[in-house]
Every structure is written in C-alpha cells, then in structure tokens.
Amino acid sequence: MRIEANLGDITDQDVDAIVNAANSALAGGGGVDGAIHRAAGADQMHAACAKLGGCAIGDAKATPGFRLPAKWVIHTVGPRYRDGRHGEPEALASCYRRSVEVAEELEATSIAFPAISTGIYGYPREEAAHIAVKTLMDLQPKTLLLVRLVSFDDYGLSLYQNEMGG
Ligand code: AR6
C-alpha cells in the first residue's frame, strides 16, 4: 500500500472511496461534509445517511458516492478537540483505521482522506497529521493499494510531507 499526500479538494478525487469528516448524527454540515453532500447530490446523500442510524466517534460507515467521481463515501466521525487528554488521539487514530477497514470490506483499491477533525472540530493540525500518517503506516490492508491524504492548503501538505519523511 502506497501513501501519498496531495493538494486538492476531496470531492474531486478520482479514487474508489473518499472519506467524509462527518458528525455523529450523519446529518450533514459545513466544511468537508457540506462539500461532499453538495457534490454527491444533497437529497440522495441525505437519504442514504439517514438510513445508517448515526455513527459513533472513531467509527466509519459507507454510502454510495452518487454524483461524485468516487464510488463510495466513507463517513467517519472525528473527535472534537478539548486538550488532547480526553481520548482524542485514540479516537482520531480509530477514524483512520476504521475507514480503511470499511474500504477493505468494499474491496476498494484506493481511498482519499481529508484532515479529519482539523477544521470545525479544532484538532491541532500538526498532531493530527502525525496521527494520520503513523496510523496508516501501521496498517497492512489487503485490497487497498493507494491511500491519499488530501490537504486543502500548502501548510497541511507540508505537514504530511514532513511526517512521511519527505
Ligand atoms: N477538500 C479537502 N479538505 C477540505 C475541504 C475540501 N473540500 N473543505 C475543508 N477541508 P472540517 P472536522 C479541510 O471542518 O473538523 C462539519 O460540519 C479543512 O480545511 O470539514 O472534522 C461536520 O458535519 C480542515 O483542515 O471537519 C461536523 O459537524 C479539514 O478539511 C464537523 O464539521 C476538516 O475540516 C466536522 O469537523
């Protein structure tokens, strides 16, 4: 499995599955979540999410991608950051692990992640990039060949590159 980091918009990614930074009600929202719902087709995505019965923090659940280039959207719920001592690192790591597990169940060969929890949920970007790369590097998936970390800005991309040793 190859891990790469790119600059871009998560909704444009031509991969089997993109990951959504959702909330536990899977009710839609701002940031990545809003962009994914709009690009997928808000009505269809809303209806598909409503059938899932919510999602716990650190867990992940899939819907189709509808109008997106990606076949699937894997909705995961990151932790809201408080001080880092309330299980936030474990919950964030779990988002990456569980999203990959769900991708494997779907037999996806490629997946793209946004920087979960680093927007509205306030996770410090440096720590979040460290957890993302470390957690993914520890995994040994079977079907997944490519994991892409997608950053919306240059600073986020540089964080991933540092963590990946490049
Ligand atoms: N493509 C890639 N990255 C993006 C995009 C995009 N289109 N848009 C924003 N980012 P956030 P969270 C970056 O707030 O912190 C929603 O309301 C952004 O710069 O989307 O997990 C949900 O419903 C930031 O670095 O997710 C939840 O209630 C990162 O993606 C809550 O927000 C994540 O920012 C989840 O908050």
pLDDT tens-digit profile of 55-81? 999 999 999 999 999 999 999 999 999
Residue 29 structural domain = 2-163
pLDDT in tens, 10-51: 999 999 999 999 999 999 999 999 999 999 999 999 999 999
Distance CA 22, CA 30 (A): 9
Give the sheet arrangement for strand 17-22, strand by strand.
2-7, 146-151, 110-113, 17-22, 72-77, 60-64
Candidate of 14, 26, 32, 99 to mutate for ligand 1, largest count of ligand atoms within 8 Å of Cβ: 32
Binned at pLDDT 50, 70 and 90, residue 166 comes out as low
Write down the pTM of the prediction: 0.98
Retrieve residue 34's tokens.
Answer: 């809003």
Into how many domains does the chain fold? Answer: 1
In 3-state terms, what secondary structure has residue 51?
Answer: coil
Whole-angstrom CA distances from 97 to 16, 58, 94, 148 are 17, 9, 5, 14
Residues whose beta carbon lies within 6 Å of some atom of ligand 1 = 9-11, 21-23, 29-33, 35, 78, 114-121, 150, 152
Atom index in ligand 1 nearest the CA of residue 123 equals 15
CATH of the domain at 158: 3.40.220.10
